[in-house]
A and B are shown apart, each in its own frame.
Chain A
Amino acid sequence: GAVVSQHPSRVICKSGTSVKIECRSLDFQATTMFWYRQFPKQSLMLMATSNEGSKATYEQGVEKDKFLINHASLTLSTLTVTSAHPEDSSFYICSARYRGLTNTEAFFGQGTRLTVV
């Protein structure tokens, strides 16, 4: 299967600081990447859909100014959590889909566990 690399896997930051999470498709080009957040014992909540070269589409209730998404190339999307607060502590996961294909499987990165203190 395709490989998606997410970095960092864990990060602890102070309240008020910003954290950047990278998601890379290593062996394929991804036009579309999805960003999810998962709280303990809950399912994946879609935050936004990131398309290469265009603005991300955010889900209702997700603050686009707080969760900045950049998809500058076909292999890299980044999520920046700005002015992080303890309630932003969560497991953030990206997934990527093959370039040019719709309705096909998406492959997940390893996830980033963010703890804001």
Chain B
Amino acid sequence: QKEVEQNSGPLSVPEGAIASLNCTYSDRGSQSFFWYRQYSGKSPELIMSIYSNGDKEDGRFTAQLNKASQYVSLLTRDSQPSDSATYLCASYTGFQKLVFGTGTRLLVSP
């Protein structure tokens, strides 16, 4: 079982809609979770970090963490074509290694 799992997509949404990206993790000891965005040919950039159960909002983004279900999600409101990218979920393992899911490709159509 992979440590962090994501649906590869693509997830297609129209401009202005809410995009919902999901991630599950296997290590119950994981304490911190991150969402990165990666454009083709570029390195990942940090969007959000979340450490506690519940929701965390930052601008158009909301991260949600449910440790009981081992589930992390990222909601993007008012999606724009410029949001089209691959979104990577990441977490630290018990050995302090930062590992990534396979990423979900998001396509926002005008």
Q: Footprint of B on A, CB under 8 Å?
A: 1, 6, 32, 34, 36, 42-44, 46, 49, 59, 93, 95, 97, 102-111
Contacts and interface: CB of A to CB of B under 8 A. Distances in A.
B45 A106 contact: no
B43 A111 contact: yes
A95 B45 CA distance: 10
A34 B88 contact: no
Interface in B60-110: 88, 92, 96-103
A43 B88 contact: yes
Contact of B31 (A49, A93, A103, A108): A103
Interface residues of B, number: 21
A102 B101 contact: no
B43 A49 contact: no
A108 B45 contact: yes
B41 to A, nearest CB: 8
Contacts of A34: 97-98
A105 B48 CA distance: 9
30 contacts: A6-B43, A32-B96, A34-B97, A34-B98, A36-B100, A42-B102, A43-B88, A43-B100, A43-B101, A43-B102, A43-B103, A44-B88, A44-B100, A46-B97, A46-B98, A46-B99, A49-B96, A93-B43, A103-B51, A103-B92, A104-B32, A105-B49, A106-B34, A106-B98, A108-B36, A108-B44, A108-B45, A108-B46, A110-B42, A110-B43
B86 to A, nearest CB: 8
A74 to B, nearest CB: 17
Contacts of A106: 34, 98
